A and B are shown apart, each in its own frame.
Chain A
Amino acid sequence: MKKIIIEISALLIFIIAVFMLLEFLFRDYKNGVDRVMDDFFKSRDQAEVLMVGNSHALPFYNALKHEEGSGVAFLTIGGDDLFWMQALVRKQLHSMPAVRYVILNCDDELLGFNQSLSGLSFMNRMLYQYTDEMYANKEMDILLSKSNFFRSNRDIGYLFSKQSNANIVMANAGGKGTFTDEECKVRAKEISEKRFQTKLFSENLTYVVSIINEVKRCNKILFVLKLPKCDCLSAAVNQENLADSRRLLDSVFMATKTEMLDFSGDHTFTRDAFANPDHLTPQVAKKLMVKMNDRIFDSVGDRPIHLQ
């Protein structure tokens, strides 16, 4: 028995040592979520507006991240689904006394999406420390969410280059309208078919309602933002799927008297406005914020986003 105990102990010590070493090497690792959240914590005490969304809202974050005094805090994380958005809102909003408005970027395709459809389940570990809840809440996931190495999604490349592979959640690359029609079609199929399932509607609607209730509970005003779409993308999406999604979302927003900032039918945004088929460029995002300010002013008599 002694021999096996020694052998098992030796193996355990070895693997624990490797793990500790990895933890040490990844101690300063910042994944994409950490980066957004670092900026969020810096700005949350002064922010009057909280913007919540996924990578589609990242251009706003990228446009304002170097501007001080914009009055906007961002919880915009690439790959985020409605579960995570509601988890972030429920955890963070009550600690933002200065916030008066919450802008939720909820495009129609979001209702049929969740993280597992994109193979992004590892985001559980990245987000947990900012939400205190996760899909399924399994003890193993909770444990791994405390590990620097696992929170990096085991980004081994970092050991060699010290560059974190955070592009998954920071994705916003591309030039002005340099994408092809084919790329548009592919992306349209992804967001409205391959990563879209109608069976997720009811679950996702509960998250939307949860966000609406949380915003009301904290005495803030909610605006739902629907972003403009590139023409080639709009033409190629599965119209039937997105129409079902839109109908359901709109009925919830109408029933709860939620204000809308709907730019999805705005065709003044030409191909040059987009960095890739479904992401605006930061410059255009900034221009859109002027329009958003105007719409909010029409609704509540206030222009809360301070643009330089």
Chain B
Amino acid sequence: MLFNSLSFLIFFPVVTILFFLVQHRYRWALLLAASCFFYMSFRPVYILILAVMITVDYFSAIAIENSGSHRRKKIFLIGSIVVNVGMLAFFKYYDFLNNFISALLPLGKGAPLLPVFSFLLPIGLSFHTFQSMSYTLEVYGGNQKAERHFGIFSLYVMFYPQLVAGPIERPGHLLPQFRIEHKFDYVKVSRGLRRMLWGLFKKMVIADRLAVYVDPVFDQPHLYGGFPVVWAGLFYTFQIYCDFSGYCDIAIGAAGVMGFELTENFRSPFFSKSVSEFWKRWHISLTSWLFDYVYKPVSFLKRGWGKWGAVYAVMITFSLCGLWHGARWTFVAWGLLNGAALAVEIIFRRNKRKVETKQPSKFRDIPFILLTFAFVSLVFIVARASTIPEALFMLKSIPELSTEKIIGLPIITRFAFELNFIFIFLLMSAEWFFLNEETKIKNAFVTSTSFRYAVNILLLLLILFFGVFEQQAFIYFQF
């Protein structure tokens, strides 16, 4: 059931109304049942994977908490991690690893060493695995009490708004919210609905429209070069942002209507002045997860290396970040490129500060913002390409800047093509106004009801007139 589907248009109000009608003590059961239904609407059998994961982590956490010795705690933690990572590895990385190892071995001339299983990746597996793992890790670290209510713990892993594509929640943030009684709150409900509308606009009006121009180029990159590659890279950057942040807006809004507060996953990442800042604003819940559970321990282990310890830790973290996104070398390369950019920032941090202070303060951010955006867009081409040679081919063809190869893209009308730039401009302007602390438009939005109505009506009309109604799955579902 996609957030942009007719089924969700019925599912959401029904669940929300029932949520407010049902007594607080039964709400967990209602939400859990709704979440199971939501997940099973994609592929019912894969709920068994979730069931195994939930059961293992539920009992592991209790065992960790009850264990007297540190050694026993560690054994239970490792057991839980092995099951979680094992399932993720089996369903997501088995074929990738099988092919990789087979290619390295001289036997069999690259034929797969082990039997090939072409599983359909369980939707959102990486998200709920990380969410569930963070629970046992926090219990192990003593920062979180083990949840004794099996139903509430299951709901923590399965809460439907963020089940299939995050944000990846931490137990300390989400679990207590299931214990609190959420009363109907006009402000929260209207804010949540507005957030959902904004997410739908991003997905249906921007992301899915851009897909029309992005997909043909990435499907057959050898046929394009120059401007189409530039457009495809540029459009893909906005497409993936609007697709994923649009999903998160709907998730945060849907949870917000019921009074739950989910973690913000994006903070206007395209206004970042450096790659490190970009990663503090892009997919925040994943970055902070990796920072806490990978970067920090690795850099602590290598603290004797000084600056190079941080470089080592960042490279390990971002290779994992790339691999988390998918079992493909292009994702690994994308992660490594981002890691390399961050490593450069770490190495030259002091020098960069000197440069910044020499710039006039008002305009100094603009070149850094543009440079960061250019880098991010270029490396997204690597992530989106099917293979490394295709990515290299596309990157090499950019300097051609030929317009000859544009023809063939499904440009139905020039107006339809140009509209994309208008919507991107609208998006960036909206983000700019809300990024700054004090702007007239932001103040008007907060204080004026009629202005908010006007914005809501405008968004609804834009979706009606320009939204893509042929349902397209969210890109991050595949991760």
Contact = CB atoms under 8 A, between A and B. Distances in A.
Nearest to A140: B6
Contacts of B5: 138-140
Interface of A: 1, 3-4, 7-8, 11, 14-15, 18-19, 117-122, 124, 138-141, 143-144, 150, 154, 156, 168, 186, 189-190, 193-195, 197
A122 B465 CA distance: 13
Nearest to B412: A119
Nearest to A156: B465
Contacts of A144: 469
B437 interface: no
Contacts of A186: 407-408
Contact of B469 (A11, A150, A194): A150
A193 B460 contact: no
A140 B457 contact: no
A306 B212 CA distance: 43
Q: Is the interface of B mostly helix, strand, loop or mixed?
A: helix
A193 B412 CA distance: 18
Interface stretch (B37-45, B81-89, B182-190): B182-190
Interface of B: 5-7, 20, 184, 186, 189-190, 193, 212, 216, 219-220, 223, 407-410, 412, 453, 456-457, 460-461, 464-466, 469-471
B460 A19 contact: no
Contacts, number: 71
Contacts of B407: 186, 189-190
Nearest to B213: A119
Nearest to A138: B471
A121 B20 CA distance: 40
A18 B461 contact: yes
Contact of A193 (B20, B189, B223): B223
A193 to B, nearest CB: 6
Nearest to A144: B469
Contact of B457 (A14, A120, A122): A14
A8 B216 contact: no
A77 B51 CA distance: 50
B4 to A, nearest CB: 8
A117 B189 contact: no
Given A154-B466, A190-B407, 4 more contacts: A117-B216, A117-B410, A140-B469, A140-B470
Contacts of B184: 1
27 contacts: A1-B20, A4-B186, A7-B190, A14-B460, A15-B464, A18-B464, A117-B410, A118-B410, A119-B410, A122-B470, A124-B470, A140-B6, A140-B469, A140-B471, A141-B470, A144-B469, A150-B469, A154-B466, A168-B412, A186-B407, A189-B223, A189-B407, A190-B408, A193-B220, A193-B223, A194-B216, A197-B219
A161 to B, nearest CB: 14
Contacts of A3: 186
Nearest to A3: B186
A195 B408 contact: yes
A121 to B, nearest CB: 5
Contacts of B409: 194
B38 to A, nearest CB: 16
A1 B189 CA distance: 9
Contacts of B469: 140-141, 144, 150
Q: When A and B form their complex, which 3 residue pairs have the shortest distance between CB atoms, in order from nearest?
A: A119-B410, A194-B408, A140-B6
Contacts of A15: 457, 460-461, 464
A124 B461 CA distance: 22
A186 B189 CA distance: 53
Nearest to B452: A7
A8 B471 contact: no
Contacts of B453: 11
Contacts of B189: 4
A141 B216 CA distance: 23
Given A121-B470, A139-B7, A11 B460 contact: yes
A143 B7 CA distance: 12
A154 B468 CA distance: 11
A194 B457 contact: no
A198 to B, nearest CB: 11
Nearest to B472: A121
B155 to A, nearest CB: 25
Contacts of A197: 219-220
Contacts of B408: 186, 189-190, 193-195
A65 B410 CA distance: 29
A144 B6 CA distance: 11
Nearest to A15: B460
Contacts of A154: 465-466
A117 B409 CA distance: 9
A13 to B, nearest CB: 12
A19 B409 CA distance: 31
Nearest to A168: B412
Contacts of B190: 4, 7
Nearest to B463: A15
A3 B185 CA distance: 11
Contacts of A4: 186, 189-190
A193 B220 CA distance: 9
Contacts of B466: 154
B328 to A, nearest CB: 18
A14 B454 CA distance: 12
Contacts of A195: 408
Nearest to B409: A194
A197 B7 CA distance: 32
A1 B257 CA distance: 12
Contacts of B461: 15, 18
A143 B6 contact: yes
A123 to B, nearest CB: 11
Given A1-B184, A119-B212, A19 B7 contact: no
A14 B223 CA distance: 46
Contact of A194 (B6, B220, B464): B220
B166 to A, nearest CB: 25
Nearest to A10: B453
A221 B408 CA distance: 36
A195 B409 CA distance: 9
